[in-house]
């Protein structure tokens, strides 16, 4: 009801006005996950910056259309040396970023903030699913690789 | 010096902007004090006891990298120290590489493992520093000269663990050396440290088992001669089924003009076997007088990832066999490190191969004087020459179902400088070929992430991280040009790129170059072809479709 309405009305303009700043901060948080903060011109930063922007834009729409972008981010995170809790923490960051910006811009619209936060929560859970899919994929790859390597032996066994 | 090495002014700028470890921002903590942590996915299973015993290698025992105690031999420190000293005397390049680095940082972000992990110890400069810091402690004079740069440290068990972690996150690809103003080759430092680690039994089964198999039966998987023949004959039957052409290869035939040696992955693995089918069709097409050895049944040389002596021994086998069979020269298949060994080390180790002749193509008469010392010709050169002289009947439309890009394998590209031959072949056998971004191909190519014997299944996480920059470049041509086929000329690539693509770019398949040649070759007496060598339908050749044959 209310939240949906607010998201549609004020949020789109608010986002347009602040997207660049939010994105910059968010990207910085994401890149700082790595032991050495990733430079902006690295492949990981490029993928992150494209994907995070799509995710942020999709938060302004009522339909969730950022599945692919979410996958792009979690695909990178799922093979890193840090635990899932740390990896997925980047999806919590925008809440803080938004709060800071709102405080600065005096657009203290709690309803909008709430709507935004609950959208983010849903997104975080989706990201978790996506992260797990990639972990499963890793195990699947190991199995497939084994059989590819033994291709001729398996073929003989089947014949 | 490389043309990609930056100028001084650029270096200063790079240094100012480069990651901070180089500038000692970790003041509370030395950079090497960050502990290493082994856990599932980031270490390879150690060499099995029987494998080590078989090779006569040091310290066979049951252990794992996750163990607290690695059961090193009692005198391990002396072994490493002596080992380093003797190698410093033997290899002047090593001493040079250890002394010459000015820590400009130009190499720092050039390594695919750094780009895939953000781990500072994966910056080539710090990777080398892992050894250099110990070397400095052992050789105080150098330390004095270099004073003011950074500290030295004692060789402890923690250092060994760290070496094992980070010298196994280097695929010896040499990308960093392309950007170094001094041409410092971190790959050679890695090779040396792995050799030192083997002296105390710190090792990797995925490397040592193939070495042992190769040493015993002649190939990585330990396939015995009859099975080796059986595999190839079964591929020949497939070819006959698909094309109606009998390719009749011969084995161990004395007096053949050419000995053909390829990585054994082409004889037993998917998709390597399709590349093998391509070779067989090509040889039939031109009527080459060749034979395949069941003893020198491996082109790959995992000795290179183990020790210099092992590399030499496994390389020598190919030449012994060429001599025994009395061939004129050797034709080598699509492989990576086999070519690095042949191109860079063979002549010093086992050369000159005077009993062979300087290779001459029997079809075109081209004399491969670049192979005058090694007497071994790369199949991409051989085929490119055939095409250049219009000796092949090709129908590139038969590959119209494939939209290709080309991955330069590190060893062939940076290790021997071959860039154009495979591209020229590719342009002639298919109609859709798109290059990946310029800074990810040719001498600046990104490694598959699994080279130098790191393509163990249990290492999948690290491999996916290290392979990310390559995969990301493929994604760009996939998005832009709908590329669905990644073509390569290395057996490790054929084994390791399929999972890499499956993870990062589902929908992109991996092909050997000569598989595409095999698809395109119009063979004498062939039956109407509707499918490629994988039995996938070819676009525009469906039954009843228009075949302009
Ligand atoms: S290895 Fe070469 S590029 Fe890297 S820091 Fe040292 S001198 Fe600079
Ligand atoms: S040789 Fe390759 S893998 Fe090794 S440090 Fe250099 S760029 Fe990295």
pLDDT tens for each residue of B170-220: 999 999 999 999 999 999 999 999 999 999 999 999 999 999 999 888 888
What is the percent of chain B where pLDDT is above 70?
A: 90
pLDDT digits (tens, 9 = 90+) for B457-499: 999 999 999 999 999 999 999 999 999 999 999 999 999 999 9
Higher pLDDT pick, B379 / B145: B379
Those residues of chain A that have pLDDT short of 70 are: 1-9, 62-63, 105-108, 159
| Residue-number span of the structural domain to which B228 is assigned | 210-520
Q: Tell me if B533 is assigned to some domain.
A: no
Of A36, A38, A145, the CB nearest to B499: A145
B47 and B83 in a single domain? The answer is: yes
CB A43 to CB B270 under 8 A? no
Average pLDDT for residues B403-414, to the nearest whole number?
A: 96
How far is B374 from B154, CA to CA, in rounded Å? 43
- Dihedral pair phi/psi, residue B411, rounded to 5°: -70, -35
B398 pLDDT above the threshold of 90: yes
Average pLDDT for residues B424-445, to the nearest whole number?
A: 98
What CATH class does A3-133 carry?
A: mainly alpha
Q: Which residues contact A26 (CB under 8 A, 6 or more apart)?
A: A52, A56, A90, A93, A94, A97
pLDDT digits (tens, 9 = 90+) for B154-175: 889 999 999 999 999 999 999 9
How far is A101 from B10, CA to CA, in rounded Å? 37
B140 and B243 in a single domain? The answer is: no
B46 and B134 in a single domain? The answer is: yes
Q: Tell me if B237 is assigned to some domain.
A: yes
Q: Would you say A88 and A126 are in contact if contact means Cβ atoms under 8 Å apart?
A: no
Q: Tell me if B530 is assigned to some domain.
A: no
How far is B327 from B162, CA to CA, in rounded Å? 47
B192 and B253 in a single domain? The answer is: no
Q: Tell me if B532 is assigned to some domain.
A: no
Residue of B nearest to A79 (CA): B461
pLDDT at residue number A17? 86
B422 and B288 in a single domain? The answer is: yes
Q: Which residues contact A89 (CB under 8 A, 6 or more apart)?
A: A33
B184 and B263 in a single domain? The answer is: no
CB A146 to CB B117 under 8 A? no
User: Looking at B202, B226, B253, which one is the last position of a domain?
Assistant: B202
B170 and B223 in a single domain? The answer is: no
Across chain B, what does the average pLDDT equal? 90
Which residue lies with its CA nearest to atom 3 of ligand 2?
B170
pLDDT at residue number B21? 46
User: Looking at B147, B176, B202, which one is the last position of a domain?
Assistant: B202
Question: Which is it for the CA torsion B438, B509, A145, B310, positive or negative?
Answer: negative
User: Looking at B138, B171, B202, which one is the last position of a domain?
Assistant: B202
Q: Tell me if B472 is assigned to some domain.
A: yes
B19 pLDDT above the threshold of 50: no
B192 and B217 in a single domain? The answer is: no
CB B234 to CB A151 under 8 A? no
- Lowest-pLDDT range of B137-146, B174-183, B243-252, B269-278: B137-146
Residue B207 preceded by cis peptide, ω within 30: no
Name the domain count of chain B.
2
CB B269 to CB A152 under 8 A? yes
Q: Tell me if B170 is assigned to some domain.
A: yes
Q: Indicate if ligand 1 lies below 6 Å from the C-beta of B282.
A: no
Confidence band for B148, pLDDT divided at 50, 70 and 90? very low
pTM (2 d.p.): 0.92
pLDDT at residue number A13? 80
Q: How far is the CA of B127 from the centre of ligand 2 (A)?
A: 9
B245 and B366 in a single domain? The answer is: yes
Q: Tell me if B74 is assigned to some domain.
A: yes
Alpha-carbon torsion angle B231, B232, B236, B237, nearest 10:
-20
B116 and B41 in a single domain? The answer is: yes
pLDDT digits (tens, 9 = 90+) for B96-113: 998 899 889 999 999 999
Ligand closest to the CA atom of residue B189? 2
Which residue lies with its CA nearest to atom 3 of ligand 1?
B180
Average pLDDT for residues B326-334, to the nearest whole number?
A: 97
Q: Indicate if ligand 1 lies below 6 Å from the C-beta of B101.
A: yes
Chain A contact set for B268 (CB, 8 A): 149-153
B330 and B414 in a single domain? The answer is: yes
Higher pLDDT pick, B319 / A12: B319
């Amino acid at each position: 009801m209310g939240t949906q309405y607010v998201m549609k009305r004020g949020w789109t303009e608010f986002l347009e006005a602040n997207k660049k700043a939010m994105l910059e901060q968010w990207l910085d948080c994401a890149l700082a996950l790595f032991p050495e903060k990733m430079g902006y011109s690295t492949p990981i930063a490029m993928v992150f910056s494209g994907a995070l922007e799509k995710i942020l834009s999709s938060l302004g729409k009522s339909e969730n259309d950022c599945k692919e972008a979410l996958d792009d981010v979690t695909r990178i995170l799922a093979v890193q040396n840090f635990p899932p809790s740390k990896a997925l923490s980047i999806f919590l960051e925008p809440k803080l970023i938004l709060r800071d910006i709102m405080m600065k811009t005096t657009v203290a619209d709690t309803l909008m903030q709430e709507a935004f936060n609950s959208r983010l929560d849903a997104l975080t859970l989706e990201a978790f699913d996506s992260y797990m899919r990639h972990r499963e994929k890793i195990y699947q790859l190991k199995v497939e690789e084994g059989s590819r390597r033994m291709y001729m032996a398996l073929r003989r066994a089947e014949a | 010096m490389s043309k990609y090495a930056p100028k001084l002014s650029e270096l200063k700028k790079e240094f100012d902007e480069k990651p901070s470890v180089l500038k000692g921002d970790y003041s509370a903590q030395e950079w090497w004090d960050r502990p290493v942590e082994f856990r599932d996915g980031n270490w390879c299973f150690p060499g099995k006891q029987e494998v080590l015993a078989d090779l006569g290698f040091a310290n066979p025992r049951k252990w794992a990298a996750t163990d607290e105690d690695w059961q090193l031999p009692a005198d391990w420190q002396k072994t490493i120290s002596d080992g380093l000293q003797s190698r410093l005397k033997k290899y002047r390049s090593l001493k040079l590489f250890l002394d010459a680095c000015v820590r400009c940082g130009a190499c720092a972000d050039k390594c695919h493992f750094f780009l895939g992990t953000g781990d500072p110890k994966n910056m080539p400069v710090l990777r080398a520093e892992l050894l250099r810091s110990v070397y400095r402690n052992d050789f105080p004079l150098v330390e004095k000269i270099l004073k003011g740069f950074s500290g030295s440290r004692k060789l402890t068990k923690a250092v060994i663990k760290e070496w094992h972690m980070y010298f196994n996150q280097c695929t010896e690809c040499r990308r960093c050396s392309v950007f170094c103003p001094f041409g410092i080759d971190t790959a050679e430092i890695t090779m040396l440290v792995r050799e030192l680690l083997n002296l105390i039994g710190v090792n990797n089964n995925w490397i040592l088992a193939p070495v042992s198999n190769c040493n015993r039966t002649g190939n990585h998987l330990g396939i015995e001669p009859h099975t080796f023949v059986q595999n190839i004959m079964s591929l020949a039957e497939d070819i006959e089924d698909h094309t109606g052409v009998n390719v009749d290869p011969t084995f161990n035939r004395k007096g053949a003009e050419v000995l053909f040696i390829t990585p054994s992955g082409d004889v037993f693995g998917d998709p390597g076997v399709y590349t093998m089918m391509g070779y067989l069709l090509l040889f039939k097409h031109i009527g080459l007088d060749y034979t395949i050895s069941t003893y020198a049944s491996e082109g790959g040389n995992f000795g290179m990832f183990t020790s210099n002596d092992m590399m030499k021994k496994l390389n020598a086998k190919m030449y012994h066999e060429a001599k025994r069979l009395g061939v004129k020269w050797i034709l080598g298949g699509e492989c990576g490190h086999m070519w690095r060994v042949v191109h860079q080390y063979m002549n010093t180790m086992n050369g000159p191969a005077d009993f062979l002749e300087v290779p001459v193509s029997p079809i075109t008469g081209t004399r491969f004087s670049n192979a005058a010392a090694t007497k071994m010709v790369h199949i991409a050169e051989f085929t490119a020459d055939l095409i250049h002289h219009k000796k092949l009947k090709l129908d590139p439309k038969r590959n119209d179902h494939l939209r290709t890009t080309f991955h330069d394998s590190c060893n062939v590209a940076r290790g021997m400088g071959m860039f154009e031959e495979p591209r020229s072949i590719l342009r002639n056998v298919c109609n859709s070929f798109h290059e990946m971004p310029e800074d990810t191909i040719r001498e600046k190519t990104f490694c598959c992430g699994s080279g130098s014997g790191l393509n163990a299944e249990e290492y999948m996480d690290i491999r996916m991280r290290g392979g990310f920059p390559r995969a990301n470049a493929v994604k760009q041509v996939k998005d832009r040009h709908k590329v669905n086929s990644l073509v390569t000329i290395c057996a490790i690539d054929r084994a390791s790129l399929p999972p890499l693509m499956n993870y990062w770019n589902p929908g992109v398949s991996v092909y050997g170059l000569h598989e595409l040649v095999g698809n395109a070759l119009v063979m004498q007496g062939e039956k109407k072809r509707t499918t490629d060598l994988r039995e996938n339908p070819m676009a525009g050749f469906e039954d009843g479709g228009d075949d302009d044959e």
